[in-house]
Amino acid sequence: MKYLFKKDTVFATIAVFIVMGLFSLIPLNTHVLDPIRIALTDISYNDLSFDRSEKNTGQVDSNIVIINVGNSDRASIANLLVTLKGHHPKVVGIDLLFLDPKDPSVDSLLKASIADLPNTVLAHDIRFTDGGPIVSGFLTPYATASGYINFIGERKGVIRHFSPFEAWKDTIAQSFPGAIIKFADSSAFAELKARSHTAELINYTRQSTQYITLDLAAMANNQNVSSLLHNKIVLIGYIGGANDIEDRHFTPLNPQFMGKSIPDMNGVVIHANIISMILEGSYINKIPTWLNVLIALLFTWIFMAYTIKFFLEHHLWYHLIMKCIQLTLTILFVYLGIIIREYLHLSASFSILVVSIILAVDVLYFYEALALWLHKKFRYQTIFNKSNH
Amino acid sequence: MRTAFLITTFLGCFFNMVAQDNFLVYQLKGKATVTVNARSQPLRVGQILSKTALLRLDKAASVGVLCANYIPMFFSNPEVRLDTVSLSCIKQQPSITASYFRFVWNELRHHPSAPENDRRRYMNNIGGAIRGCPGINFSISPDTIRYLNAPLEISWKTQLARDRLTINIYEDESGGSILATLSVTKNFISVDTLKKYSLGRSEVYWSILVDDQEHCSRNFLSFTELEIYNNIIRDAEIATNAFTDAAEKNFLKGFYLEQQRFYGEALLMYTEALDLEPNNKRYRKPVDDLTKIPNTQPSKQ
């Protein structure tokens, strides 16, 4: 630790963060032809806490029942809603986006059945344009409430976040899961609202097999349906076959962590996961950015002291040792992030720290040259002026 | 010398980019005139024509023009409105060089950021199945189109971003194999382009896909043989025999062809009627209807 409190160590650490800051100011994506970077663009190592842990093999959430409408037409969906009324569900969320009118008689039937069913939440789409938000979904005025079904994520990317509420001017729009929770559990809704998070991390706890799923066609022949649906949150949506990618998205539960794969979860199951998370209060909180930076700063300072030690005292082995240390630390910090996510329900981003560790070795060369130049010109006292390497 | 070369190259590229809608006359047989902004002048080889130009060709005359992207086109019809053929200038298969540098440029500009920090920009993933054809309004009813050779653009208006749309051409009304998948670069496509990718079939189906999902029913496209078309034209002649006024006759023929779903051929007839009586609002309306991009009102809450 003899180099920890040397001014060169402190200045070299600051130089690392200055370089990082300068890199972030470059308006162009300098990784344009870096295949590894491109492949890793939508990768978060924290996803491993969902995918590789045994967490997602948990219990079935008996509060939620999903009804798969498959490719049923609007008339069949209207009939389903009429049938559901007799089973007294707590709330019915229709995760189908009706964009335009079709057959007037069937549309009237659907309108009537939506309007007649109490506590119905109908899905709509919301897009934010320069001219303001555009909301699509022509049957929403007939439902008790409506909620937007948009997730936050790169197009065709991994879905990790959702926005619980969106506000503009005098309007507050609710997300589809938020609107459902409002009917299902007022205290859980109050908690969601009180958090005031503009983007909530989705805590994926269940696969589609961990929700009771009924098929619309099979429902007619099932005598025990009423007991399954009574006082439950019923989600009506589409679940296709294994190779059907309609309304399928990539999630952290995808068995293929990176590289090319097929989407793994239907939108309705993602909504179910969000609802489960809100009901159970199992939110994932993010470590604030300032704390991430502070941790990175402190660790880089310590790391720099060791880097300078190897640089000055074991220069022959400097590069080899530092590369090994960099690799080991990167693996350890990813592991630490997973552990923090798993046991503390906290999302820690160690990317600043990992980048600073990677940069430290190269920045030290630059700092050494600068310090020697300052020494020559202005008699600046530096530990690098001894030719011991 | 090097500076001059670089400046020339730059200017050449610049003018090439801004002149996407221009045509160069490179072949002329017989006599022809060009009308722009109600001013007519004889057509000359080497002349650059704008998209708004109207060509009038004498009998047995023919004109060859080049689009900005070097696609040649030949006309021998008595009248040619260049705006109706401009779609044929779209290059469906860009060069490897252009594709590569477009990729590099797009990647350079794509500065990755955390979606949660700019959430409204990234709320494009819908977690629900779509029922219904998502907000695409066509200039003409696209469900059935019959086509001989008259230039026709099918245009549409939508709130959806172009990169979410693709056009598939199918063998059958449902299921069946996909003959071609075309990316959407503009809010229109020429029937000629659809024909080009129909692999020589006389009947195909096509549809616009949103996010690679087929939400809208497939549209029927029939490439009619000349003999069948001539029979229809003969019927149209008989039906309009009672009219002596050439403009009215053309207008009614256009109406007849439109009813038969020959929209391109109908547009030519309507245009001829309008050229004969430019102030006739009744003649103008179908021309506007078949060429204008439709308006659409997004539903708002």
Q: State the DSSP code for A153.
A: B
The half-sphere exposure of A48 on its side-chain side, counting CA atoms within 13 A, is 14
In terms of pLDDT, which residue wins out, A243 or A158? A158
**What pLDDT score does A344 carry?**
86
Assigned domain for A33 exists: no
Residues A38 and B122: beta-carbon distance below 8 Å: no
Domain co-membership, A298 together with A173:
no
**Rounded Cα gap, residues A193 and A237, in angstroms:** 25
Q: State the DSSP code for A247.
A: T
CA B192 to chain centre: 8
In terms of pLDDT, which residue wins out, B115 or B171? B171
Terminal-residue alpha carbon distance, chain B? 63
In terms of pLDDT, which residue wins out, B116 or A139? A139
**What pLDDT score does B1 carry?**
54
**Rounded Cα gap, residues A48 and B193, in angstroms:** 47
Assigned domain for A54 exists: no
**What pLDDT score does B19 carry?**
47
Using CB atoms, pick whichever of A41, A74, A160 lies closest to residue B131. Answer: A74
**Rounded Cα gap, residues A204 and A267, in angstroms:** 13
Domain co-membership, A19 together with A70:
no
Q: Judge: B127–A98 Cβ closer than 8 Å, yes or no.
A: no
Assigned domain for A37 exists: no
Mutate to test the interface with B, among A73, A100, A140, A251 (most CBs of B within 10 A): A100
Domain co-membership, A218 together with A82:
yes
Assigned domain for A32 exists: no
**Rounded Cα gap, residues A167 and A170, in angstroms:** 7
Give the SS3 label for residue A25: helix
Closest-approach residue (CA) in chain B for A95: B128
Strands B23-29 vs B62-67: parallel, antiparallel or unpaired: antiparallel
CA distance B115 to chain A (A): 6
Q: Judge: A98–B110 Cβ closer than 8 Å, yes or no.
A: no
**What pLDDT score does B94 carry?**
56
Burial class (CB in 10 A: 0-12, 13-18, 19+), A374: middle
Residue A368: partners with Cβ closer than 8 Å, 6 or more residues away: A311, A384
Res. B296 pLDDT band, cuts 50 70 90: very low
Is it the case that residue A237 has pLDDT exceeding 50?
yes
| Residue from A235, A265, A248 nearest A122 by CA | A235
Is it the case that residue B278 has pLDDT exceeding 70?
yes
**Residue type, position A205, single letter:** T
Res. B17 pLDDT band, cuts 50 70 90: very low
Domain co-membership, A156 together with A170:
yes
Rounded average pLDDT over A171-177: 93
Rounded average pLDDT over A195-209: 91
CA distance A346 to chain B (A): 16
For the stretch A267-277, pLDDT in tens is 999 999 999 99
**What pLDDT score does A269 carry?**
95
Domain co-membership, A302 together with A254:
no
Which of A128-132, A312-316, B11-15, B125-129 has the lowest average pLDDT?
B11-15
**What pLDDT score does B301 carry?**
31
> Based on the structure, what is the number of domains in chain A?
2
CA distance A234 to chain B (A): 15
CA B11 to chain centre: 29
CA distance A347 to chain B (A): 13
**What pLDDT score does A211 carry?**
93
Q: What percent of chain A has pLDDT over 90?
A: 44
Matching residue, tokens 């309008």: B274
**Rounded Cα gap, residues A75 and A220, in angstroms:** 15
Question: HEC string of A102-145?
Answer: CCHHHHHHHHHHHHHCCCEEEEEEEEEECCEEEEECCCHHHCCE
Assigned domain for A60 exists: no
In terms of pLDDT, which residue wins out, A231 or B51? A231
| Residue from A38, A249, A69 nearest A162 by CA | A249
Q: What percent of chain A has pLDDT over 70?
A: 88
Res. B299 pLDDT band, cuts 50 70 90: very low
Assigned domain for A57 exists: no
Contacts of A176 in chain B (CB under 8 A): 127-128
Domains of chain B: 2-86 (no CATH), 133-301 (2.60.40.10)
Q: Which of A267, A283, A299 is the last residue of a domain?
A: A283
Instruction: Among A56-65, A358-367, B63-72, B89-98, name the most confident range.
Output: A358-367
Is it the case that residue A203 has pLDDT exceeding 60?
yes
Is it the case that residue B256 has pLDDT exceeding 60?
yes
Which of A120-124, A222-226, A364-368 has the lowest average pLDDT?
A222-226
Is it the case that residue A174 has pLDDT exceeding 90?
yes
Vertex A362: Cα angle to A356 and A364 (nearest 5): 90
**What pLDDT score does A24 carry?**
75
Q: What percent of chain B has pLDDT over 90?
A: 10
Q: Judge: A246–B298 Cβ closer than 8 Å, yes or no.
A: no
CA B152 to chain centre: 6
Domain co-membership, A268 together with A295:
no
Residues A217 and A226: beta-carbon distance below 8 Å: no
Vertex B63: Cα angle to B57 and B69 (nearest 5): 135
| Structural domain boundaries enclosing A322 | 7-27+43-49+286-385
Q: Judge: A32–B127 Cβ closer than 8 Å, yes or no.
A: no
Q: Which of A263, A283, A303 is the last residue of a domain?
A: A283
The torsion defined by the Cα of A214, A216, A217 and A221, in degrees rounded to 10, comes to 60
**Rounded Cα gap, residues B116 and B79, in angstroms:** 56
Rounded average pLDDT over A247-267: 83
Closest-approach residue (CA) in chain B for A98: B131
Strands A61-68 vs A211-215: parallel, antiparallel or unpaired: parallel
Is it the case that residue A194 has pLDDT exceeding 60?
yes
Is it the case that residue B212 has pLDDT exceeding 60?
yes
Residues B146 and B260: beta-carbon distance below 8 Å: yes
Res. B135 pLDDT band, cuts 50 70 90: low
Domain co-membership, A273 together with A172:
yes
**Rounded Cα gap, residues B102 and B105, in angstroms:** 5
Domain co-membership, A253 together with A330:
no
Domain co-membership, A106 together with A230:
yes
Q: What is the DSSP string of A271-301?
A: HHHHHHHHHHT--BEEPPHHHHHHHHHHHHH
In terms of pLDDT, which residue wins out, A290 or A221? A290
Q: What is the DSSP string of A169-190?
A: TTEEEEBHHHHHHHHH-HHHHH
**Residue type, position A56, single letter:** N
Rounded average pLDDT over B260-278: 91
Contacts of B134 in chain A (CB under 8 A): 97, 99-100, 136
Contacts of A97 in chain B (CB under 8 A): 126, 128-132, 134
Q: Judge: B121–A128 Cβ closer than 8 Å, yes or no.
A: yes
**What pLDDT score does A259 carry?**
64
Residue B125: partners with Cβ closer than 8 Å, 6 or more residues away: A150, A151, A152, A153, A155, A156, A157, A159, A249
Q: Judge: A136–B112 Cβ closer than 8 Å, yes or no.
A: no
Does an H or E element contain B170, and which?
Answer: strand B165-170
Contacts of B136 in chain A (CB under 8 A): none
Which of A113-127, A362-376, B57-71 has the lowest average pLDDT?
B57-71
**Rounded Cα gap, residues B269 and A55, in angstroms:** 69
Vertex A363: Cα angle to A361 and A369 (nearest 5): 115
Contacts of B122 in chain A (CB under 8 A): 152-154
Assigned domain for A171 exists: yes
Q: Judge: B299–A238 Cβ closer than 8 Å, yes or no.
A: no
Domain co-membership, A18 together with A117:
no
Domain co-membership, A275 together with A304:
no
Is it the case that residue B250 has pLDDT exceeding 50?
yes
Domain co-membership, A263 together with A352:
no
Residues A168 and A247: beta-carbon distance below 8 Å: no
Using CB atoms, pick whichever of B109, B111, B125 lies closest to residue A249. Answer: B125
Q: Judge: A163–B127 Cβ closer than 8 Å, yes or no.
A: no
Is it the case that residue B25 has pLDDT exceeding 80?
yes
**Residue type, position A229, single letter:** L
Contacts of B115 in chain A (CB under 8 A): 152-154, 157, 160-161
ipTM over cut 0.90: no
Total residues belonging to chain B: 301
Structure tokens at B241: 């025999």
Res. A163 pLDDT band, cuts 50 70 90: very high
Q: State the DSSP code for A42.
A: T
Matching residue, tokens 């007849």: B256
Q: Which of A262, A283, A304 is the last residue of a domain?
A: A283
Is it the case that residue B136 has pLDDT exceeding 50?
yes
CA distance A179 to chain B (A): 15
Helix %, strand %, coil % of chain A (to 5):
50, 20, 30
**What pLDDT score does B45 carry?**
83
Mean of per-residue pLDDT scores for chain A: 86
Assigned domain for A55 exists: no
Is it the case that residue B112 has pLDDT exceeding 60?
yes
The torsion defined by the Cα of A23, A24, A27 and A33, in degrees rounded to 10, comes to 60
Res. A318 pLDDT band, cuts 50 70 90: confident
Provide the 10 A C-beta neighbour count for residue A347: 18
